[in-house]
Chains A and B, each alone.
Chain A
């Protein structure tokens, strides 16, 4: 089974621009979560999507948004980039049944975003 894939792997943007990151979950996984990893703040939860619906959101400004498509692929968008948005953005997928238990999440390799 192919793992979680993320594109692009590396991205360089300038302040004020916007960026879209893509994530393809493991086949059969319908839950996709996004995390931001920085040296100062560590790993922080951004949001989770399940069946095209955002079911959970972390404490990030509205500049951070996401969506999920019917094939479970997900995108996240960051508008009006700031220097502090430079980070490793990780996507994770899990096999989730509504009302079921919390299963382990499998992570992709991440997208390294640098904002200049």
Chain B
């Protein structure tokens, strides 16, 4: 069975602070994929990043960066110099290999990020 845990239910920061959202996963698959999605108040899930289990390189995209560590089964997400527009619920998700689970995503509980001006 697959499981994703986002221990931080809510985080509140002041604009321009850096913030890290934690994600810990469990899977028995040797091939798997990790994702982050953002859900603003409008409700639509917005794709942020996909990472496969064979690629442990960290990634940076503008103010966003991701730290994937297989040794600790973690895939953390950092927002640098946060802005009010970053306020949203962020979900970490896991998918097994295509042959085992297709495109099925297992989501964490989500972290509500509030950035105050």
Name A residues whose Cβ lies closer than 8 Å to a Cβ of B.
31, 33, 35, 42-45, 48, 50, 55-56, 58, 88, 90, 92, 94, 96, 99-110, 112
Contact = CB atoms under 8 A, between A and B. Distances in A.
Interface of B: 33, 35, 37, 42-47, 50, 52, 91, 95-99, 101-110
A33 B103 contact: yes
Given A105-B47, A109-B42, A55 B102 contact: yes
Given A43-B107, A45-B105, A56-B101, A104 B47 contact: yes
A107 B110 contact: no
B103 A31 contact: yes
Q: Would you call the interface of chain A mostly helix, strand, loop, or mixed?
A: strand
B109 A42 contact: yes
Contact of A45 (B45, B52, B106, B110): B106
